[in-house]
Amino acid sequence: MDYLELSGATISERDKAFAQEFANFVNGSMCSPDQIGRELTRAHRYLQQQMFKVFLGFMKQLAYNYQQGRYDDRNEWASRLSTEAYQRLIECDLIFDPEFPTSK
């Protein structure tokens, strides 16, 4: 599914290239997600903050996809977990997203 088709938003070619490179890395070069996560915490603290924003953006899109039924058996766990976490962050007033359906 194309990103434009998914969100209606435009994405820079550099951002799109990074997303594809990261997907390729995860698909064939990654040894341990836990070790990679630990290694990412060695980056400069400002960069950690920026990387976390990327993570939150990914989690948000998975949560919206789950709410709209755009998932299958291959990513249901990640989508459902993202939905639960994202909803909880909204309920705790840590994220503001008035368009996301919550039980609050």
Domain assignments of the chain as residue spans, ordered by start = 43-97
Tokens representing 51?
């990387």
Task: Please give the average per-residue pLDDT across 37-45, as a whole number.
Answer: 96
Could you tell me the two tokens for 1? 């599914």
Report, as an integer, the average pLDDT of 59-72: 97
Please tell me the pTM assigned to this model.
0.86
For residue 10, with 0-12 CB atoms within 10 Å meaning exposed, 13-18 middle and 19 or more buried, which class applies?
exposed
pLDDT at 3 over 80: no
Please tell me the distance from the alpha carbon of residue 89 to that of residue 69, in angstroms, as a whole number: 21
Q: What are phi and psi for residue 97, nearest 5 degrees?
A: -150, 85
